[in-house]
């Protein structure tokens, strides 16, 4: 299976419309890939909190139109990263969009863990509640978004739903780049799954982005990692290796569920 992670530079000298057209062209340039992955909130930047409201769009808005067409033209599965969605309830959500090779919206995922504690995304956006998996011909994909990477229980829920490959769009800051690499490897090792994590490059809202998109195999080995700038990271991997690893080193079978909280 061939995957292309497009690590987009999100800088303030480019309009949302210009970036959308540029990204659609980059997706079309990945013909031959089975799966193309974009980062989190690439229309605005994940830290451009002031832009979320003005750039918000309905689920089937302009980014959906552009990405559906690009997926169909490319003939690849497309995880189009996330957009600031204006929900039918009027609230904002950090919503990922996934397309089939015929350009149909196969799934959407509202980020469950919002970043910022008592600021930013955590107060501006509503939380998603539904973990999402998507069956591709070669593998079952579990989706998560950026800060979700810090919450192993979400990934276990995705494993229980059959996920063998995690796709994680992100807008991760340079300041915590070491966490990014470490967490991607941790989620891969503990779940014996592939992790395809695609971040942004550039600087927006004064926050330099980490880049360093990464693909990790079910043994925790880094198959490929990008640098800091805009880049397309292309990797070939055998998704069957997740099942093989789980068979050969069956740690997932030793899970003990429902442990009690210790009494003090």
Ligand X SMILES: NC(=O)CCC(=O)C(=O)O
Rule CB under 6 A: which residues touch ligand X?
40, 46, 115, 146-147, 150, 171-173, 176, 179
Read off the tokens for 160: 């229980």
Shortest approach of ligand X to residue 147 CB, angstroms? 3
Q: Which is nearer to ligand X, 60 or 175 (CB)?
A: 175
**187, HSE (Cβ side, Cα atoms, 13 Å):** 35
Shortest approach of ligand X to residue 244 CB, angstroms? 31
- List helix spans (H) across 29-143: 49-55, 62-74, 121-124
Q: Which is nearer to ligand X, 10 or 70 (CB)?
A: 10
By three-state DSSP, how is residue 165 classified? strand
The residues carrying an active-site annotation are 40, 111, 146
Read off the tokens for 148: 């979700």
Q: Which is nearer to ligand X, 22 or 176 (CB)?
A: 176
Shortest approach of ligand X to residue 127 CB, angstroms? 12
Residue with tokens 């149909």: 104
Q: Which is nearer to ligand X, 81 or 173 (CB)?
A: 173
d(CA 207, CA 80) in angstroms, rounded, equals 22
Shortest approach of ligand X to residue 171 CB, angstroms? 5
d(CA 77, CA 88) in angstroms, rounded, equals 27
């Amino acid at each position: 299976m061939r995957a292309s992670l497009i690590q987009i530079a999100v800088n303030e000298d480019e309009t949302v419309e210009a970036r959308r057209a540029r990204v659609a062209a980059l997706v079309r340039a990945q013909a031959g890939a089975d799966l193309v992955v974009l980062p989190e909130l690439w229309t605005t930047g994940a830290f451009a909190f002031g832009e979320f409201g003005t750039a918000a769009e309905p689920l089937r808005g302009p980014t959906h139109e552009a990405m559906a067409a690009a997926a169909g033209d490319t003939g690849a599965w497309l995880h189009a990263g996330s957009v600031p969605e204006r929900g039918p309830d009027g609230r904002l959500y950090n919503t990922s969009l996934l397309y089939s090779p015929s350009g149909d919206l196969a799934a959407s995922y509202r980020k469950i863990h919002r970043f910022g504690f008592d600021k930013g995304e955590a107060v501006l956006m509503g939380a998603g509640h539904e973990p999402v998996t998507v069956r591709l011909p070669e593998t079952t994909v579990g989706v998560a978004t950026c800060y979700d990477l810090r919450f192993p229980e979400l990934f276990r829920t995705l494993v229980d739903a059959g996920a063998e490959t995690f796709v994680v769009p992100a807008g991760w800051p340079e300041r915590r780049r070491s966490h990014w690499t470490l967490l991607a490897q941790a989620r891969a090792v503990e779940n014996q799954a592939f992790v395809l994590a695609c971040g942004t490059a550039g600087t927006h809202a004064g926050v330099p982005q980490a880049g360093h998109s990464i693909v990790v195999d079910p043994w925790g080995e880094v198959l490929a990692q990008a640098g800091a700038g805009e880049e397309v990271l292309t990797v070939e991997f055998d998704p069957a290796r997740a099942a093989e690893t789980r068979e050969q080193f069956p740690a997932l079978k030793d899970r003990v569920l429902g442990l009690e909280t210790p009494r003090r």
